[in-house]
């Protein structure tokens, strides 16, 4: 089936990075942590300091793929009254002043309750560029995939250290935007060392796709980001950023403090 060609900010950003022989930086934060106004201000600040893609975690009551830091962020998001419709409203507000590519990191139950078609359509209308559903395998994603392609949104799937070649071969054709390589088994969280599987696994994945490969889970320092970027097209940092948000709470210097921390992670990747 032919789908309409639509400009996707994620695809375009990676095209620019490749043309400039650059590496991408993807920042994850929990939407609504500590509130949605802070989410909006952080997004705009991140755009200005060179973040290439913003991942927004949509708060969910049972975030099984997340470690404690991100679980607590989801809890704070729920406590601040953040809902999927309010997340989309916030994305639309971000779009008034920023074209930073935005991915929603979301659990399938939220789409199912809303209605997959409606969620995808309204996400696209609000200015979302892609979805990463933590608990939806490609084999069960036919309706979702069709709707996503119709609306020009990137379908981002996860590959783990334990994913065999045959499985990578299955996942890769369903993916658009980029492939997310989860460099560690288990849940999200900061680590003192980077995984030793990154070089081997990114090479394996490249046998099955020409899409950019983003590597995340456990990266928390500028040195780690620089090391991972030797083998990845983009580096994903989440828990370390979320931890800085938690430390700042609702203080007035939340945004400048977190932006300064994120800029220290971005800097090694931008030469």
**Rounded CA separation 238/59 (Å):** 14
Q: Which of 66, 129, 233, 263 is catalytic?
A: 66
Cα–Cα distances in Å, from 59 out to 106, 107, 158, 183, 205? 8, 9, 19, 23, 30
- 125 as an active site residue: the answer is no
Tokens of 59: 């708060």
Written as one string, the DSSP assignment of 69-117 is: HHHHHHHHHHHTT--HHHHHHHHHHHTTT----EEEEE-HHHHHHH-HH
> What's the DSSP call for residue 268?
G
Active site residue 52: no
Q: Which two tokens stand for residue 232?
A: 């990845």
Active-site choice (52, 55, 93, 263) = 55
Query: Which residue has tokens 């704070």?
Result: 76
Angle (deg, nearest 10), helices 84-94 and 116-126? 20
Q: Which two tokens stand for residue 15?
A: 């095209």
Which residues are known to be catalytic? Answer: 55, 66
């Amino acid at each position: 089936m032919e789908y309409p060609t639509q400009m996707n900010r994620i695809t375009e950003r990676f095209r620019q990075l490749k043309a400039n022989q650059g590496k991408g930086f993807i920042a994850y934060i929990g939407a609504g942590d500590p509130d949605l106004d802070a989410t909006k201000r952080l997004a705009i600040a991140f755009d200005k300091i060179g973040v290439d893609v913003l991942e927004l975690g949509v708060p969910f009551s049972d975030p099984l793929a997340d470690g404690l830091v991100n679980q607590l962020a989801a809890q704070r998001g729920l406590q601040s009254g953040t809902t999927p419709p309010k997340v989309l409203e916030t994305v639309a507000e971000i779009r008034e002043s920023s074209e930073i590519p935005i991915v929603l990191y979301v659990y399938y139950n939220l789409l199912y309750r809303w209605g997959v078609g409606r969620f995808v359509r309204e996400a696209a209308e609000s200015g979302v560029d892609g979805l990463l559903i933590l608990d939806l395998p490609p084999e069960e994603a036919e309706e979702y995939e069709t709707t996503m392609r119709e609306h020009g949104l990137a379908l981002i799937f996860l590959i783990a250290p334990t994913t065999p070649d045959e499985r990578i071969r299955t996942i890769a054709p369903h993916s658009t935007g980029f492939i997310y390589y989860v460099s560690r088994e288990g849940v999200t969280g900061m680590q003192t060392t980077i995984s030793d599987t990154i070089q081997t696994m990114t090479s394996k994945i490249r046998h099955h796709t020409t899409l950019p490969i983003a590597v995340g889970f456990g990266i928390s320092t500028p040195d780690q980001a620089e090391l991972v970027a030797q083998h990845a097209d983009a580096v994903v940092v989440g828990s370390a950023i979320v931890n800085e948000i938690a430390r700042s709470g609702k203080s007035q210097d939340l945004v400048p403090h977190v932006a300064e921390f994120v800029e220290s992670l971005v800097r090694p990747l931008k030469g």
